[in-house]
Structure 1
Amino acid sequence: MAAVSPTVLFLVNDPIATEALLGEAFVDHGFDVDVFEVVTDQRGDQPAGDVAFPDLRGYDVVVPLGARWPVYDAALLDSWVGTQMQLLRDAADAGVALLGVCFGGQLLAQTFGGTVTRSPRPEIGWYDVLSDQPDIVPGGPWFQWHFDRWTLPPGANEIARTSNASQAFVLGRAMGLQFHPEVDIDLLQAWLADDRDGEVVAAGLDHDQLLTRTADLTEATAPRIRDLVSGFLTHVAGSARPS
């Protein structure tokens, strides 16, 4: 009988925030990839509303991805964000490993008792991340695009940071990331095309500068993403399941 591959579910909370390079890294580690669109492209301008999620407990890993909205938005909390939080709690109780990315990392913090608020300084572009555990989260440049930051959930261990914000925490078999390891040129171009409020220019950057820097770092970043996934699978997802 053929061995069954482990499966990762990516929760696409925003139609322009896909799994990109992170999906490729999980495939490289032998995973089958499933994707569920939480907010479809048709609802991008009005994201609140009920969502019929799949059963997260049937997956080995669940990865809630980024979004342009705050996790504490009242209308979203009353609809799919609140629902997703409960499903993530249920999945964690069932032993599913969780990896949150940006909005998804903030969502994990909020789900397990931390808080998320506006940061005094946004981070957009490539920032050097200081890591206490490079075998889990490699230090060095990672791409950022966020305006909020978390406080740690009770019992969580912060393992990476910048001077502006916590960048990674581990809580049991869950890990939250503030940065975007998934970003490639195609994904960044989609984000820049959607930058209606001029967030990049307001941060003192320009589109060409970001694209050039991203192109320069893509080749060097790809193996670091695989190392990140390997570290997560080994040291976080590989830890003991709850009894």
Structure 2
Amino acid sequence: MAIALWSTTVALARSTSEQLGPLTAAAAVYSVSGSIALLRLARSNQRRQQIHQVPLKYLLGCGIPFLSYMIALFLAVGLAMNHQQVLEIGLLNYLWPTLTILLSLLIQKRQANLLLIPGTILALVGIFLVLTQGSHVSWGSILENISANPAAYLLGLVAAVSWAVYSNLTRRWARDTGRGMVDLFLPITAVILIVIALLTESGHAWSVRSLLEVGFLGTATYIAYWSWEASMRMGNFTLVSAASY
């Protein structure tokens, strides 16, 4: 469900970003998803008690990469100088499925065989072809843009690594438990993004369309992250990670 929601909301997220600015749009969307999370916490005494019972290593070990992913990704998009760079940063960010599988060998001590190498290469080529369809992207243009705007591309890579680390540590420290922390991480993310947006972007005109889009995206975002965390904790880790391609 998480993968399907992320895939189907890409165009809508781009529309919202164009209307409000990338950071303002992100802050608005995560404000909605964070509000849903807080409502769930307010209505469930059990959920609130679970937060107090979560080990500190899980709270920090998963919370820091979760927040790092969100902040790094939207800062990277905000620093992009043009649509071409946004596309290329998206390519960097989409290294996270590959990194999730590769890091599982270190973090979770999973076993792998030589088929992992050609499989990884084919997956990366497939991602490149799908995301660059109809666009004039080449290795030369990517290297040129990286040299012109290194901070944005570095943040895109940080986002990919952060999400891969978050997914693996969630599996390692919260497996087979009912103690997912999305309901805590999302409101914190919203607050940080609001502060960044207020400091870096000027005001934008809101419309009924942008309000509806933000409402839908915020709801979809909450469902997607809740579903992803649940799948990392209780699902088939390898299958879910591979399906993310």
Same fold (TM over 0.5): no
Structure having the larger proportion of residues in strand: 1
Larger Rg: 1 or 2?
2
Q: TM-score, normalised by structure 2?
A: 0.30
Return the structure number with greater helix share.
2
TM-score normalised according to structure 1 size: 0.30
